[in-house]
Amino acid sequence: MLTGAEIKNRDLVAGATDSGYRASRYDVRIESLIKPEGSTVASYILPARGIVLAVSKKRIVLPGNITGLAMVKTGLCNDGVLALNIGVIDPGWEGKVSSFLVNFNNHERLLTIDDIFLRLTFQQLSSRVSKRAPISDENYMSDRRHQVVGRFAPTFLLESADFSVIFWQPVTFAHGRESTARRAGRVR
């Protein structure tokens, strides 16, 4: 894993600010947020059970022998906001990164430009892979808008669920032992 100093020396985050570097990672900040209907905003009050797409302020520029790993921001998770579709950033990637942010909290959460929403770590590979063609910021944003529009409701997670009872029911395991398990059921 590369150190913050190595990330900086290799210029893996184009135009990075010194405040983003940590001992072994780079903190990614929000440049814009794409709401479920597709509009782009600088700040957004993420409703309880809401979803929004956060797009990075900086571009990631990876040579063919470096891969990245996008991880959740623990502080956001502690507030009930979870970053989805995190994971590997392919070697040779050159462009912005983004993540859907889901509010599992019962309260709304304000998100704004410059909020940290992801953490990136980088690893050097034993050999090079082919470099991909860079994606322009305009094409990246257009692709992300198309990814969002019409696919997500503004809120979800049991908002209109028809669960009326949570009950306990005996369960018998294959080896014959009985236990009690919680199971959701509908009363009809």
In whole numbers, what is the pLDDT of the chain averaged over residues? 86
Instruction: Read off the pTM.
Output: 0.79
| Pick from 68, 67, 59, 53: nearest CA to 142 | 53
Is the CB of residue 111 less than 8 Å from the CB of residue 52?
A: yes
Alpha helix locations (H) across the chain? 4-9, 74-78, 137-148
Is the CB of residue 81 less than 8 Å from the CB of residue 109?
A: yes
Name residue 150's amino acid: G
Q: What is the DSSP letter of 6?
A: H
What pLDDT, in 10s, does the model give residues 112-125? 999 999 999 999 99
Tell me which range, 68-77, 126-135, 146-155, is most confidently predicted by mean pLDDT: 68-77
Mind listing the domains of the chain with CATH numbers? 4-148 (2.70.40.10)
Is the CB of residue 87 less than 8 Å from the CB of residue 70?
A: yes
What pLDDT, in 10s, does the model give residues 24-64? 999 999 999 999 999 999 999 999 999 999 999 999 999 99
pLDDT of residue 182: 46
pLDDT confidence tier of residue 147, bands split at 50, 70 and 90: confident
Tokens at residue 109, please?
A: 């959460």
Is the CB of residue 128 less than 8 Å from the CB of residue 64?
A: yes
